Amino acid sequence: MRASLASSIAVTCATVLALPVSLAAPAAAAVPSALGLPPSASAQPPAPELPGATQSLPLEPLGGGSDRALGGGADDAGVQGLTRRDVRPFSLVGVVWDDPAAALHGVVQVRTRATGGGVWSEWQDVETHNEEHGADPDTAEGHGRALKGSTAPLWVGDSDGVEIRVRGDEPLPEGLRLELVDPGDAPGQDPPATTTATTAATTATATTAATTATAATTATQATTAAVTAAAWARTTAASLALAGLNAAEAAVSGVNAQLAPYGAAWIPALSKEATEITLPYVPRTQEAMAPPAPEAAPDEAQAADEAQAPDEVLAPGEAQAPEQMAAAKPYIGPRPKIITRKGWGADERIREKGFVYTKSIKAAFVHHSATGNNYTCAQAPSVLRSIYRYHVQSSGWRDFGYNFAVDKCGNIYEGRAGGVSKPVLGAHTLGFNTNSMGIAVLGTFSKSAPPTAAVTAVARLTAWKLGLHGVNPKGTSYLVSGGGNLYKKGKKVKFNAIAGHRDGFATECPGVRLYGKLGTARVSSAKYQGRR
């Protein structure tokens, strides 16, 4: 059935490219509704400005060289910070310094005042070991001139007062600055909450649509399918303008155009059957599981692609010849709902232009964001916008570091730009970003247990994304180290297909409580793929 579907779509795609635009537009406009997709951006008003901002305040010597409250002693290497002060509103804090290779050995604590004359919080610890997150050393991003050393960011909620103290066990890095991040206004359109009922309804609708397309025999049905493919893959500058997308937003939306209309706030969930029918490409099962060739250097997998314009995205069916569809393995989990960068309000103007890809996805590294657990699921987009600004504008990364994020309610978010189904090179597991993906569960799980919904979301996401590359979530894969504190550069390392950050770098991430749930995630992920 899938082979005949691919064949019919391929033929109709070729036919419709000759159709007049006046015929294509009305038919294309009706398709998102028919497939149960979010409304096309062409029917939405222009995207609002996202006025997030960052305050950067130099730290000052606090005097005394010791602070008993911080556990200091006579051999302290100094204490820096800021006394209580009023500041412009912010929601996330972090500390940066000049040399990205320098480590901050010591303790960082902050306390904040809730906006509007609220009470001051207790002292909160900021995770100082953030160097293990980031781009691999020999990449362009890893040598960026704007790179800074940085702590992990900490979410504190709406605040307008701050106090900070930093004690060093060794001499503190030069140029210490406190970063106070305002995430900006929330997007105008929030995606619906993920529920079993809505997911079932969406997947049922998509499956029905796929079945209908397979049985299409009339000229009207063929034309509708072809017009849809052409409209999504060959959107014109005029329609992008109607969608309220600037060039950067259009490029980001374009690489997801096979999965949702341009400017969509989320990519809808599909059933397993519908997912297999609409595969963007065929997995290379054997290659994904094999060790890398001895002569293959890590850099060969890190060649940067040029920015992919929207008109370079293949239409549904173009990447799937009948013989390819017949050869595809069925071990791919149902596609989960994914909130896009548009949906969580990423300001595409602040990141570097273009996308960078690796060759494949052989493993998924699970992280915790170490931003604390004091956020609501409604605030998760604001947390993401804050981390995004901190990664790019404070730490000097090219984009959001992780490929995906998951909140405590199990919502899945697109992270680094480049297309959720594509092998985007991230900056999450220093030394092992090549041929892997990074998933950050929003929160801190060193002492707190991760919510079941978050672990389930990790399983669903990996079942789909690893499945696209033929990877068994309960299996193992080989990656080549780009350099780190556990494995020297060039060493081939065997990982679980779903691994924790600490497996590739000496770190506490993703927290002992989340790390202990990865076995559960592997088993569930494999079941979603249809494996025993």
Report helix, strand or coil for 177: strand
Which tens digits make up the pLDDT trace of 87-126?
Answer: 999 999 999 999 998 999 999 999 999 998 889 999 999 9
Task: Give 195 or 373, the one with higher predicted confidence.
Answer: 373
Quick one: pLDDT band at residue 287, thresholds 50, 70, 90?
A: very low
Alpha-carbon distances, residue 507 vs 115, 126, 128, 485 (angstroms) = 34, 15, 11, 10
Which tens digits make up the pLDDT trace of 375-430?
Answer: 999 999 999 999 999 999 999 999 999 999 999 999 999 999 999 999 999 999 98
User: What is the DSSP code (8-state) at residue 301?
Assistant: G
Q: Which two tokens stand for residue 404?
A: 């995906």
Query: Can you give the pTM of this predicted structure?
Result: 0.76
Q: 468-502 burial, b if ≥16 CB within 10 A, otherwise e?
A: bbbbbbbbebebbbbbbebbeeeeebebbbbbbbb
As a whole number of angstroms, the distance between CA 23 and CA 44 comes to 22
Quick one: which of 479, 214, 187, 478 has its CA closest to 346? 187
As a whole number of angstroms, the distance between CA 172 and CA 102 comes to 9
What pairing do the DSSP bridges indicate for beta strands 106-114 and 154-168? antiparallel
**Domains of the chain from N-terminus onward:** 2-49+189-289+307-327 (no CATH), 53-182 (2.60.120), 338-528 (3.40.80.10)
As a whole number of angstroms, the distance between CA 274 and CA 278 comes to 6
Q: 261-293 burial, b if ≥16 CB within 10 A, otherwise e?
A: bbbbbbbbbbbbbbbbbbbbebbebeebbeebe
Mean pLDDT, to the nearest integer, of 352-376? 95
Mean pLDDT, to the nearest integer, of 329-352? 93
Q: What is the pLDDT of residue 483?
A: 85
Q: In this model, does residue 316 exceed pLDDT 90?
A: no
CB 280 within 8 A of CB 205: no
Q: In this model, does residue 337 exceed pLDDT 60?
A: yes
Helix axes 219-233, 196-214, angle to 10 degrees: 120
CB 432 within 8 A of CB 504: yes
Q: What is the pLDDT of residue 280?
A: 58
Which tens digits make up the pLDDT trace of 216-244?
Answer: 433 443 444 444 445 444 445 555 665 67
Work out the mean pLDDT of the chain and round it to a whole number. 77
Q: What is the pLDDT of residue 49?
A: 53
Q: What is the pLDDT of residue 131?
A: 66
As a whole number of angstroms, the distance between CA 12 and CA 30 comes to 18
As a whole number of angstroms, the distance between CA 386 and CA 82 comes to 22
CB 472 within 8 A of CB 531: yes
Quote the percentage of the chain above a pLDDT of 70.
67
- First-last CA distance in the chain: 25
Task: Give 304 or 260, the one with higher predicted confidence.
Answer: 260
CB 307 within 8 A of CB 357: no
Q: In this model, does residue 34 exceed pLDDT 80?
A: no
Report helix, strand or coil for 379: helix
Q: In this model, does residue 480 exceed pLDDT 80?
A: yes
Which tens digits make up the pLDDT trace of 179-216?
Answer: 999 999 866 544 444 444 444 444 444 444 444 444 44
Q: What is the pLDDT of residue 242?
A: 56
Q: What is the pLDDT of residue 290?
A: 41
Sign of the four-CA dihedral 194, 197, 202, 206 = positive
273 Cβ partners below 8 Å, 6+ apart? Answer: 207, 210
Quick one: pLDDT band at residue 177, thresholds 50, 70, 90?
A: very high
Sign of the four-CA dihedral 402, 376, 157, 189 = positive
As a whole number of angstroms, the distance between CA 315 and CA 327 comes to 20
Q: What is the pLDDT of residue 357?
A: 96
Q: In this model, does residue 308 exceed pLDDT 80?
A: no
Which tens digits make up the pLDDT trace of 117-155?
Answer: 889 999 999 998 766 677 777 788 887 778 999 999 999
Specify the residue for token string 């704007």. Answer: 146
